[in-house]
Amino acid sequence: MNRTLRPADDMPRIYLYREPVDFRMGFRGLGALVEQELEHNPFDGGLYAFTNRQRNKIKCLYWEENGFVLYYKSLAEEKFNWPTQCDELLSLTGQQINWLLDGYNIEQMQGHKKLHYEALC
């Protein structure tokens, strides 16, 4: 599977915002949330991930040298396994954000184990 539009595994600063946000917000609204609520600089190269109330959509905000990149994923049928810990913000690795985008439960901080079978019986 080609994932050219995914965050890189070696991306240094990835933050997951725990509370659902209004998905009508674009890059300006999400950038203001990063700046005002989280007291982070949205221009410092960090990637910020947000979800909606139904947990079936993710938006990622990232400043790339001369403009914002807004990544949006909307699931057709399922929900994302959004972490439920208390902190408002959770730091993730590139691998963990990709696990989340793939539907894994990152609270366990590991992906599903890979299975390999030689035959059905």
> What's residue 2's pLDDT?
55
Amino acid identity of residue 1, one-letter, is: M
What is the pTM (predicted TM-score) of this model? 0.81
Amino acid identity of residue 25, one-letter, is: M
Q: Rounded distance, CA 18 to CA 55, Å? A: 11
> What's residue 90's pLDDT?
86
Burial (CB < 10 A; 0-12, 13-18, 19+), residue 68, is middle
Q: pLDDT (tens digit, 9 = 90+) per residue, 74-117?
A: 988 888 888 876 667 888 888 888 888 888 877 765 555 677 78
Q: Rounded distance, CA 96 to CA 85, Å? A: 16
- Given a cut of 80, whether residue 35 has pLDDT beyond it is yes
Q: Which two tokens stand for residue 10?
A: 């070696």
Burial (CB < 10 A; 0-12, 13-18, 19+), residue 85, is exposed
> What's residue 56's pLDDT?
93
CB 3 within 8 A of CB 71: no
Q: Is 54 helix (H, G, I), strand (E, B) or coil?
A: coil
Q: Rounded distance, CA 23 to CA 70, Å? A: 12
